[in-house]
């Protein structure tokens, strides 16, 4: 599985939402999760994450996350990111 540049895809998901409290990852409303997108590498996902995190900096309960989907799809893979 490669992207158009010939590099192996290491899929990452960026999503976020408002947390119930700052002590744990428990979302207030799962129906309001913001699915930012899927990205072929960590660098692209990090850029998207930073953008969304900066847009919501005034809301302390809003959090965005990067999920390394490639690790879930192939747990044996020893990828650096």
What is the share, in percent, of the chain residues with pLDDT greater than 90?
Answer: 73
H/E run at residue 70: helix 69-73
Does some domain include residue 59? Answer: yes
Say how many Å lie between the first and final Cα of the chain, rounded: 16
Does some domain include residue 29? Answer: no
- The 10s digit of each residue's pLDDT in 24-62 is 999 999 999 999 999 999 999 999 999 999 999 999 999
CATH number at residue 69: 3.30.70.2400
Number of structural domains the chain divides into: 1
User: Buried (b) or exposed (e) across 33-43, using 16+ Cβ within 10 A?
Assistant: eeebebbbbbe
pTM of the model: 0.79
The confidence score (pLDDT) of residue 72 equals 84
Domain hosting 56: range is: 9-16+41-73
């Amino acid at each position: 599985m490669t992207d158009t540049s010939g590099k192996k895809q290491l899929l990452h998901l960026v999503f976020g939402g408002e947390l119930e409290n700052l002590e744990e990852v428990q979302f207030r409303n799962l129906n309001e999760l913001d699915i930012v997108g899927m990205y072929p590498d960590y660098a692209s996902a990090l850029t998207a994450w930073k953008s969304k995190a900066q847009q919501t900096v005034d809301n302390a309960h809003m959090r965005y996350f990067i999920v390394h989907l490639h690790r879930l799809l192939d747990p044996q893979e020893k990828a650096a990111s």
